[in-house]
């Protein structure tokens, strides 16, 4: 007898950034944050969780490799899931399946830990899948938050606010949807992957050092709350220029905070700064804020822009960062992009050198829905005996 559930969950990219905790264990942030949830065809975590009387221990596999389940974050999430399941059991679950051992198998369809919010998708998926397995209903973003702060925002689709809350026990530090994915259908996200290597300072360690040493972070907490209101309004009104400007300022402030941390942390690389210049020069030349960049704890650029501007921007990306092999155009994963030649007058006015090979590939996506349950058994990551279907050797 085995019960199993498979789910997928999305990545989210913050436009108002979370950086710094006021409680390390409960993962309570020092400021609220806002993100957009990305489409799952391009970026998603997938998890199968199963419980069976025949399992002899809890086991977990991540991207084909067995992982210990001993990390305090995983344990905190499991404890909370079991606590809520127990509560429910006393009401309606008749069997003792809550005490059975658990097998969890997870994989991402994109590079892990490269500043592409893989932990957000991973923990949101883990929590959503376990909630389905144990029949837990109601708010689960607070459980996802225990795994990775930003994961609480991946529990919803569309545009999402993580309210920092004020309660000491974290009960009001939860995610709320500002608008569904259908709200702003023209919005697009173009990720320029410059590296899929692991980041050298993890976000938890980085945040902790910033909270301890960064003077600028104290100032930032005063600034963020009004930015939360401005960003919410820009999203609700679909005011791209305000949305874009705030997004860029937020990214810049996050990385300024990182540099003001002692010892300093720098996630952006030369090419990241080159992309920043390209975006600003382009916006200036066309006379409107048409593109926004944002960077998280890694060097990859995430561009927010409108559908109508994607072909022109992609032509510039191809011009400034051409591949060094396999033709003259970068590989784009995800939504297709109409190919148009770059405008020479714009290229000339941008006045930047080209950086061949600096961008590895691009991902083109749009705002998408929250976690999904996958019914088809063929999609399960575990076989009928609860073992992973594929394991790396
Ligand atoms: O949840 P974490 O620990 O992966 O932190 C993520 C922090 C940033 O991605 C840099 C910003 C954010 O709000 O997502």
Cα–ligand 1 centroid distance for 129 (angstroms):
22
Instruction: Determine if ligand 1 sits within 6 Å of the CB of residue 297.
Output: yes
Instruction: Determine if ligand 1 sits within 6 Å of the CB of residue 142.
Output: no
Is the domain of 257 the same as that of 222?
Answer: yes
Q: Which atom of ligand 1 is nearest to the CA of 16?
A: 13
Whether 42 maps to a domain, the answer reads: yes
Is the domain of 306 the same as that of 165?
Answer: no
In this structure, what token pair is assigned to residue 146? 């225990």
Pairing of strands 44-52, 372-374: unpaired
Whether 384 maps to a domain, the answer reads: no
Give the confidence band of 110 by pLDDT, cuts at 50, 70, 90: confident
Given ligand 1 and candidates 10, 32, 124, 149, which is best to mutate, with the most ligand atoms within 8 Å of its CB? 149
The pLDDT score that the predictor gives to residue 96 is 81
Whether 385 maps to a domain, the answer reads: no
Which of 266, 255, 168 is closest to 217 using CA atoms? 255
Is the domain of 246 the same as that of 164?
Answer: no
Is the domain of 109 the same as that of 225?
Answer: no
Whether 106 maps to a domain, the answer reads: yes
Q: What's the predicted TM-score (pTM) here?
A: 0.96
pLDDT at 20 over 60: yes
pLDDT at 113 over 50: no
Given ligand 1 and candidates 43, 150, 207, 210, which is best to mutate, with the most ligand atoms within 8 Å of its CB? 150
Q: What is the CB neighbour count within 10 angstroms for residue 310? A: 22
Which residues form the domain of 258?
A: 187-366
Pairing of strands 159-162, 59-62: unpaired
Cα–ligand 1 centroid distance for 259 (angstroms):
16
pLDDT at 103 over 80: yes
Whether 389 maps to a domain, the answer reads: no
Cα–ligand 1 centroid distance for 148 (angstroms):
8
Whether 35 maps to a domain, the answer reads: yes
Residue minimizing CA distance to atom 9 of ligand 1 = 296
pLDDT tens-digit profile of 53-67? Answer: 999 999 999 988 999
Whether 390 maps to a domain, the answer reads: no
pLDDT at 101 over 80: yes
Is the domain of 167 the same as that of 45?
Answer: yes
Whether 391 maps to a domain, the answer reads: no
Instruction: Determine if ligand 1 sits within 6 Å of the CB of residue 220.
Output: no
pLDDT tens-digit profile of 243-259? Answer: 999 999 999 999 999 99
In this structure, what token pair is assigned to residue 322? 């051409």
Is the domain of 222 the same as that of 292?
Answer: yes
pLDDT tens-digit profile of 267-289? Answer: 999 999 999 999 999 999 999 99
* Residue that wins the pLDDT comparison between 393 and 217: 217
CATH number at residue 342: 3.30.70.890
- State CA 259 to chain mean position distance: 22
Q: Which atom of ligand 1 is nearest to the CA of 203?
A: 3
Is the domain of 58 the same as that of 123?
Answer: yes
The pLDDT score that the predictor gives to residue 376 is 95
Is the domain of 198 the same as that of 285?
Answer: yes
Structural Rg of the chain based on CA atoms:
21
Instruction: Determine if ligand 1 sits within 6 Å of the CB of residue 381.
Output: no
CA–CA distance from 378 to each of 166, 176, 238, 258, 374 (Å)?
Answer: 44, 33, 40, 44, 10
Q: Which atom of ligand 1 is nearest to the CA of 13?
A: 14
Cα–ligand 1 centroid distance for 315 (angstroms):
30
Instruction: Determine if ligand 1 sits within 6 Å of the CB of residue 296.
Output: yes
Is the domain of 329 the same as that of 194?
Answer: yes
For 193, phi then psi, to 5°, come to: -85, 115
Is the domain of 212 the same as that of 167?
Answer: no
Is the domain of 173 the same as that of 221?
Answer: no
The pLDDT score that the predictor gives to residue 1 is 85
Is the domain of 71 the same as that of 203?
Answer: no
Total tally of structural domains belonging to the chain: 2
Which of 2, 223, 237 is closest to 101 using CA atoms? 2
The pLDDT score that the predictor gives to residue 119 is 85
pLDDT tens-digit profile of 328-376? Answer: 899 999 999 999 999 999 999 999 999 999 999 999 999 999 999 999 9
Grouping H, G, I as helix, E, B as strand and the rest as coil, residue 46 is strand
Cα–ligand 1 centroid distance for 150 (angstroms):
5
CATH number at residue 89: 3.30.230.10
């Amino acid at each position: 007898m085995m019960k199993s559930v498979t789910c997928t969950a999305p990545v989210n990219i913050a436009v108002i950034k979370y950086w710094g905790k006021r409680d390390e264990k409960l993962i309570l942030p020092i400021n609220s944050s806002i993100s957009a949830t990305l489409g799952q065809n391009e970026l998603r975590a997938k998890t199968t969780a199963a419980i069976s009387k025949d399992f002899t221990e809890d086991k977990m596999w991540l991207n084909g490799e067995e992982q210990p389940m001993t990390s305090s974050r995983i344990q905190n999430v499991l404890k909370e899931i079991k606590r809520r399941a127990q509560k429910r059991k006393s009401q309606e679950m008749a069997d003792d399946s809550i005490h059975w051992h658990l097998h969890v198998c997870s994989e991402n369809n994109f590079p892990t830990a490269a500043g592409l919010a893989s932990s957000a998708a991973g923990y949101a998926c883990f929590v959503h899948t376990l909630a389905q397995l144990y029949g837990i209903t109601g708010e689960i973003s607070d459980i996802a938050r225990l795994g990775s702060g930003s994961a609480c925002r991946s529990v919803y689709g569309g545009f999402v606010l993580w309210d920092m809350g004020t309660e000491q026990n974290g009960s009001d530090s939860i995610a709320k949807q500002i608008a569904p994915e259908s709200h702003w259908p023209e919005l697009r996200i173009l990720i320029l992957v410059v590296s899929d290597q692991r980041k050298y300072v993890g976000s938890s360690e980085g945040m902790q050092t910033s909270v301890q040493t960064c003077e600028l972070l104290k100032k930032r907490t005063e600034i963020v709350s009004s930015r939360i209101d401005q960003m919410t309004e820009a999203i609700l009104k679909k005011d791209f220029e305000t949305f874009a400007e705030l997004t860029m300022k937020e990214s810049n402030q996050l990385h300024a905070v990182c540099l003001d941390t002692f010892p300093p942390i720098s996630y952006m690389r030369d090419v990241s700064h080159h992309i920043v210049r390209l975006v600003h020069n382009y916006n200036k030349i066309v006379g409107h804020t048409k593109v926004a960049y944002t960077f998280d704890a890694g060097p990859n650029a995430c561009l927010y822009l409108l559908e109508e501007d994607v072909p022109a921007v992609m032509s510039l990306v191809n011009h400034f960062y051409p591949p060094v092999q396999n033709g003259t155009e970068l590989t784009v994963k995800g939504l297709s992009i109409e190919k148009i030649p770059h405008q020479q007058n714009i290229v000339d006015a941008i006045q930047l050198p080209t950086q061949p090979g600096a961008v590895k590939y691009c991902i083109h996506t749009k705002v998408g829905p929250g976690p999904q349950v996958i019914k088809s058994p063929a999609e399960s990551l575990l076989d009928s005996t609860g073992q992973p279907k594929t394991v790396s050797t």
